[in-house]
Amino acid sequence: MTLYINSMYRKTGKLILAALSGLILAFPGFLSAQTIPASPANWLFPDGNAQGTRRTLVRSSIQELDSIKVKWSTPSISGDVKPLIGNVINNNKISGGFTYGPNEITAVMGDKLVVVDAMGRTHPKAQLPAFVKNVSVLFDSLATTVGELTTRHVVMGLETIEFENLDDSLAFAYIAGYNSSADTVGILKRLAIDLRDYDPNIFASIKPVMGRRRGNNTLVYATVNMSEPQVGTSSPGTAPFFRGFTQFNTGSMLFDYPLPDVGDDFDSRITLGPEVGFAQPSFSSKNGDANIILPNYPTMTIDVTIDNLVTDPTYPNESYLFGFDVAGALINEGIYPRPMSSMTDPLGNRPVIRPYYVDIKDARNGDSIFILVSEGYKGIEGSEGTARLHLYNTDGDAITLPTDVDIAPPFIGGEDHDWSVAVGDVDGNSSNEWLPYFPNNAGNEIIVSQSTREFAFPGNKVYILRYYSGSEIDKPSPPNTYLYHLDTLASQRINGWVAAVNDLDADPDGKEEILLVDGSKLTGVRLRDYDSYEFRIGRPFDTVFTFDFNMQSISSVAVADMEGDGMNDIIVTTYDSTYVIGTVMIDIINVIEPSDSASYCAGDTILFKWENLMMGQDYVNISFEAVTQISGTVTGLDTILIEENYPNNADTVMYEYVASDELFGKSGRIIVASSYNPTKVSDESASFTIYGPVCITDTLPKREYQVGELIEFTGMHSCIDSVSIFTSYSSSTFWDLQYTGEINTSGTFSIAAALPSATFFECLSEDPDSLLNINLVGFRDSFRDTSQTHTIRLHPAPFPVTWDTSETSCPNFLFHWDPMDIDYLCDSVSISVSVNGGTSWTWINTAAANEHPYLWRIPLALPDSILMRFCCENSCVRTDTIIKNYQPKYIDIVSPNPFSPVNEELTICYKVPEETNVTIRIFDAANRIIAEPVRSQPRNPGTAYCDTWNGYTANGSPAANGMYYLSIEFSNGSKEIYHVFIRK
């Protein structure tokens, strides 16, 4: 598989530390042991292990290599550095199911010491003294032997660059440790070497390379280098410069810095001729001893003798195999200096010598520890020649010889290149063999490439070598040829340098994987079975994964178990960032809100909050999973995506979700899942419910209303803040807002509004509509719920008309209204009459609304009971009223009319509808009674009656000329009016 990694990764925040416990050996807060040990799969040395052979000794638990991914990255560590990985912080286990606690990554970045924890968080960076170059080693200050696997808390050796100290002629290096109270690292010790005896060479670089406990003392070993010392004579008597190896007796690891300084043990000071500080030494514990062998690089321009107190003199212009015993209180000789000039390329000069303790087995005699010496050349600065690999026993005796071309020659590479060296069991179980050519090689093999971290070699090959001193083993081709004692099991033309070796998948085949770096590409390869077709045709390596870091040159690769879950990770540092590749932990996202069952309403802002226990899942998908419970078991129903690829780049991330209609009425939980690994990295919240707005109205008390009448609604509600009343005519689809009112939180509501004016009322014809639809809409923010539709019959607003009902003689009607009493627009009033109960209407007149009263002279042809209509034209104001008993029906003759009271008498002839009492009155024009000719006289139907009036008023005076009204009234309340005129 190939993965392209984006070059932009975000900085991470501060880790919330778990409680720490253990033995406190420093002040204040330096911890040197813990109850739960960290994973022993660590990377405590620049080249992986104490031997420098780029191998993580602890195999991984089972994991699928085709599913490993970039778990997180940080730009806090990047560039030309070799980060180290170990138990720096001393955290407790990340998960209760893990066997170990986590490891941390540390490196020097500029003038800061950086620590990044297993979850991808960068701790506060520690300010460093000047000239600190690298973290050169992590070591357990309680370990009593060198190079052992450790699960305990480690301290950091800090290498300094070569600098000239004119103030006091001291060269420094430092030991740093983690300070739990400050959540950062701090300087524990300053290691100082007095260089005044080497004046004018008062400059040096000190590289701590190992530490161990001896009694109550912590011993720290360091290499010292001066690259271009000034030398006056070839026999100076004492060493004119300090290149070599030394020991510091630091006591306990207390925070003594800045003073007192720890000086090196002069009796253990090893002064050497060639440079030895450019690479990691190789350590080994053999038979309880502790041994170190040093890399070296000669300076051909210096020819002096360099003596020391422990072993033979050496020369700067010679390369050596030399080693030292560090098992005791002082450094002693281990392997006396063996010049390499007789072993190296006779045509070459200035070789780069890297000796390695290699744990490989000679199947013939069972030896397991050898010394492999790589002879390399830079191709510059006089370092030119044929690169070779030489094998020695642990006493420093040569096993391969340049002159032994038949059985034990060195392994010969190409011109002008160095070697990347590793060891590991790459051919696996004993069942993997192809006899007679490839018997299984028990134990580890040597893995080398011709390209290195510093230099790429054209035509680079990766070689798998073994050492076997037994009988000859046939080569499959050419025929009748045999493998040398130190020879290849396989080789293949592959670009890249060997960066690390580890059994990453714990496959039953027992094979360890090889990690190769080529520029920006990291490739994992595995040796194929010897009897496979691909191996036989010259393709011995199977690519098991590839990661391409998008033009970011890789500077370092390490293998360690970061989290303590037993599954090893690959830690890749580029010039842009550091990446952790492995099997993604499942429980690295912790949703903390909503934390318990809750209810929310439409428009509520719901806070989704989660913790990133491990950084690196830069984007997440946020979903809502609707759930139900059946017999107590939660079952998922459907999933609704809320947000895709939401940035997830902080310890605690919050997302504010406004409850919307897509989730109304649903109960469920929020799922936050990695966009990259959603099936493995996710967490869910507690279950909660989101309710939409609900508005339910009660039944209306009646179904008919007038325009302007107040209509009141009552009902129940939830999740709404206000209610609006909307109306629509039955012939229309448009809804008009009539009223909006806020409501209380009691769950019930009462709201009222005046009914609107309608335009469908007609004055002379049938109304086209009379129905009004009403909806109540409950609102919560932008969300709404509409009630059931109520349909009412709407009648016009009443026209405020009255007429004179007093007892007058006038048979006509005088209608009154006040325009100020009309609540709606009314310019003109249409007056009409219906004699058929409103089926049809006859227009009488149109009067201006401000012209009143209105006199209607009643036509004689109308029936006794009629329907009058007063209608504001083009408005919603109208009144229909019944008028009856207005026509003469019982008066037959009134004569003479007009008459003169002086000469004549008025005769009134009439009939009655039923047995009744009759009263006849006379009214003047002012509607005053002036005479009463008949008062409550009994009358019977079927008889014609005639009564008279002499024309005199009740006071005995004759009535004046003019119009008078004669009223005949019956005891049932009926009456008739008749006009009478007097003329003298």
Distance CA 516, CA 462 (A): 9
What share of the chain has pLDDT > 90, as a percent? 57
Can you give the pLDDT at residue 548? 96
Cis check: omega of the bond before 436, within 30 degrees of 0: yes
Can you give the pLDDT at residue 634? 55
Can you give the pLDDT at residue 22? 28
DSSP strand E in 519-632: where? 521-527, 541-548, 554-560, 569-574, 578-582, 589-593, 599-601, 605-612, 619-630
DSSP strand E in 787-827: where? 790-795, 801-803, 813-817
3-state secondary structure string across 307-355: CCCCCCCECCCCCEEEEEECCCCCCEEEEEEEECCCCCCCCCECCEEEE
Say which residue, 853 or 192, is predicted with more confidence. 192
Distance CA 850, CA 53 (A): 113
Tokens of 296: 């070296």
Distance CA 357, CA 392 (A): 9
Return the bridge partners of 823, or none. Answer: none
Residue pair 98/614 in contact by the 8 Å Cβ criterion: no
Has residue 335 got a pLDDT over 60? yes
The closest alpha carbon to 289, from 327, 324, 331, belongs to 327
Can you give the pLDDT at residue 128? 94
Helix (H, G, I), strand (E, B) or coil at 663: helix
The closest alpha carbon to 419, from 379, 393, 447, belongs to 447
What secondary structure does DSSP assign to 360-394, as a single string?
A: ---TTT---EEEEEEEE--SSTT-BSEEEEEEE-T
**For residue 524, what are the CA distances in angstroms to 432, 501, 514?**
20, 9, 6
Beta strands 541-548 and 2-4 are: parallel
Cis check: omega of the bond before 258, within 30 degrees of 0: yes
Can you give the pLDDT at residue 88? 94
Tokens of 727: 């109306």
Residue pair 894/907 in contact by the 8 Å Cβ criterion: yes
What is the average pLDDT across 930-958? 90
End-to-end Cα separation, the chain, in angstroms? 133
pLDDT digits (tens, 9 = 90+) for 426-473: 999 999 999 999 999 999 999 999 999 999 999 999 999 999 999 999
964 C-beta neighbours (distance < 10 Å), count:
22
The residue written with tokens 């560039």 in the block is 79
What is the average pLDDT across 773-788? 89
Q: What is the mean pLDDT of the chain?
A: 88
The closest alpha carbon to 862, from 887, 889, 890, 880, belongs to 887
The closest alpha carbon to 200, from 172, 231, 225, belongs to 231
pLDDT digits (tens, 9 = 90+) for 105-138: 999 999 999 999 998 989 989 999 999 999 999 9
Distance CA 363, CA 468 (A): 6
Can you give the pLDDT at residue 252? 75
CA 231, 237, 241 angle in degrees (round to 5)? 40
Tokens of 700: 């209306």
What share of the chain has pLDDT > 70, as a percent? 92
CA 891, 897, 902 angle in degrees (round to 5)? 125
**For residue 432, what are the CA distances in angstroms to 491, 501, 514, 527, 835?**
17, 19, 18, 11, 119
Helix (H, G, I), strand (E, B) or coil at 700: coil
Residue 34: pLDDT band with limits 50, 70, 90: very low
- Buried-state track 846-857, b at ≥16 Cβ within 10 A, e below 16: ebebeeeebebe
Can you give the pLDDT at residue 262? 93
| Cα pseudo-dihedral 517, 523, 526, 531, rounded to 10 | -100
Residue pair 907/933 in contact by the 8 Å Cβ criterion: no
The closest alpha carbon to 772, from 835, 717, 834, 706, belongs to 706
- Report how far Cα 274 is from the mean position of its chain's Cα atoms: 55
Task: Kindly calculate the radius of gyration of the chain based on its CA atoms and give it in whole angstroms.
Answer: 56
Residue 588: pLDDT band with limits 50, 70, 90: confident
The closest alpha carbon to 229, from 211, 241, 214, 244, belongs to 241
Residue pair 558/83 in contact by the 8 Å Cβ criterion: yes
774 C-beta neighbours (distance < 10 Å), count:
25
Can you give the pLDDT at residue 395? 92
What is the average pLDDT across 700-725? 90
What is the average pLDDT across 393-417? 92
pLDDT digits (tens, 9 = 90+) for 306-317: 999 899 999 999
**For residue 970, what are the CA distances in angstroms to 378, 490, 807, 954?**
144, 140, 13, 21
Q: How many CA atoms lie within 13 A of 830 on its CB side?
A: 19
Has residue 11 got a pLDDT over 50? no
- Judged by phi (left if over 0) then psi (alpha if -120 to 50, else beta), residue 665 lies in left
Residue pair 797/708 in contact by the 8 Å Cβ criterion: yes
870 sits in which H/E element: strand 865-872
What is the average pLDDT across 414-422? 96
| Cα pseudo-dihedral 132, 135, 138, 139, rounded to 10 | -30
Residue 809: pLDDT band with limits 50, 70, 90: very low
Can you give the pLDDT at residue 167? 80
What is the average pLDDT across 5-31? 31
Residue pair 391/371 in contact by the 8 Å Cβ criterion: yes
Can you give the pLDDT at residue 256? 66
Has residue 629 got a pLDDT over 60? no
| Cα pseudo-dihedral 462, 466, 471, 475, rounded to 10 | -20
Distance CA 104, CA 85 (A): 5
Query: Mean pLDDT lowest for which of 268-277, 505-514, 583-592?
Result: 583-592
3-state secondary structure string across 833-854: EECCCCCCCEEEEEEECCCCCE
Distance CA 146, CA 286 (A): 11
259 C-beta neighbours (distance < 10 Å), count:
6
The closest alpha carbon to 237, from 275, 271, 283, belongs to 271
pLDDT digits (tens, 9 = 90+) for 207-260: 999 999 998 899 999 999 999 999 987 667 788 999 999 999 998 766 667 778
